[in-house]
Amino acid sequence: MAEFKQVSPNAPIGEKLMTWVDNRFPASKLYKEHMSEYYAPKNFNFWYVFGSLALLVLVIQIVTGIFLVMHYKPDANLAFASVEYIMRDVPWGWLVRYMHSTGASAFFIVVYLHMFRGMIYGSYRKPRELVWIFGCAIFLCLMAEAFMGYLLPWGQMSYWGAQVIVNLFTAVPFIGPDLGILIRGDYVVSDATLNRFFSFHVIAVPLVLLGLVVAHIIALHEVGSNNPDGVEIKAKKNAAGIPLDGVPFHPYYTVHDIYATSIFLFFFAAVVFFAPEFGGYFLEYNNFIPADPLKTPAHIAPVWYFTPYYSMLRATTDQMVYVLVALVGLGAVLAIVRGGFSGVAKLVIAIGALVAAGLLLTFEAKFWGVVVMGGAVIIMFFLPWLDRAEAKSIRYRPSWHKVMYGIFVVVFAVLGYLGVQPPSPIGERVSQVGTLFYFGFFLLMPWWSRIGQSKPVPDRVTFSAH
């Protein structure tokens, strides 16, 4: 049993109260470890505010979600009317609902930017592999949370979007039909589906999400934050054991984050009050129409933050499968001819390529579209082991690496745009090229990341006061 701290009888009441709490719960210890005595690199730039903003949006979503649940009815006959009731009759209900719907898009904006910062500065490299894995798991949970929440208004796009996405799981070989029934709880999207998605949206997924966020922060604070230079500040410490290039997170970066929060909330409020639908991207106009199983909208597309992956799904046609078979064959030939493998290894590669080609041709393109869509997210989990560049940060990598990352961003944005548009032959071809580039960017990274000469990385961070 730990020894209790003593406090003077003449100490202020606040100090007595804090000592009483510390003797029973490590409040001060946690504050020191994660705030006042957690030393972060002193060269953080604006890219490092998006993690805190993601935490802010998570709080907004939880708080507004609690108030929405007070009035929402998870019933297929009442759900749409209950949302209208929230918007029209509940005091300030329209504000809470618009904060929640805008918060969903804001969450993905800051998370996408947060993940991109991790990519360009190598924040997934040793010793932060687990930090990155937890972050990718958070992203995966966030996608599930957003998809299930999207069904709850029970509008036209909610209903038909869920119908399309859930039906994709029926393409899984052997277990597809049963899997579809398990997810829907019925043979079609119905009241059972709404109740399942409501339960997961408000209870199951948020619990997992909160656990992953805590694990993400604990893992980060255990190994320390990365910085734009990719230099480990723990390698250079003073006599007291304090990193020479570190500053206490509080007050330096709490003030930094408060400033960023004020700017973020300015834009967030502007969208909530003046453009909550954001031209139909944050809230589709068809979703203001009650769900009608007998009337399919002319064009069904998911919300903007899912559209890059939706484009990859639509791009996986029979022709695309033939291209994938050809690429598997080409990769196997290059590995056998140029890889320098032994005879047994070459045989294994050849057999593996034949099996992969056989599987690609055996199952329908719809199934492989689901695999591609899921694989586009799963592949990011392996980024720490795919990147073989000598330098962590983009600052010290060969200049053409910046071009690669720039093209990656453009391709991702184009895929997102095409996912919103109705299908077209040109859009399909562009999506296919974009999908191949997306996966090539990651799968070929062990090769292209080693090409070129990196610049010398400094021993200490580069910093100029501002």
- Per residue in 429-446, pLDDT (tens digit) is 999 999 999 999 998 998
Over residues 124-153, mean pLDDT: 94
Over residues 209-227, mean pLDDT: 94
Over residues 287-297, mean pLDDT: 89
Residue 172 is predicted with a pLDDT of 85
Residue 340 is predicted with a pLDDT of 66
Fold equal for 26-288 and 306-448: yes
Over residues 388-412, mean pLDDT: 94
Q: Is the pLDDT of residue 168 over 70?
A: yes
Percent of all residues in the chain with a pLDDT value above 70, rounded to a whole number? 98
Where does the pLDDT of residue 194 fall: very low under 50, low under 70, confident under 90, or very high at 90 and above?
very high
Q: Is the pLDDT of residue 116 over 70?
A: yes
Number of residues in the chain: 466
Residue 62 is predicted with a pLDDT of 96
Topology of the domain covering 306-448: Cytochrome Bc1 Complex; Chain C (1.20.810)
Q: Is the pLDDT of residue 464 over 90?
A: no
Pick the CATH number of 26-288 from 2.30.130.30, 1.20.810.10, 3.40.640.10, 3.40.50.970: 1.20.810.10
Predicted TM-score (pTM) of the model is 0.93
Q: Is the pLDDT of residue 289 over 70?
A: yes
Where does the pLDDT of residue 2 fall: very low under 50, low under 70, confident under 90, or very high at 90 and above?
low
Residue ranges per domain, the chain?
A: 26-288, 306-448
Q: Is the pLDDT of residue 43 over 80?
A: yes
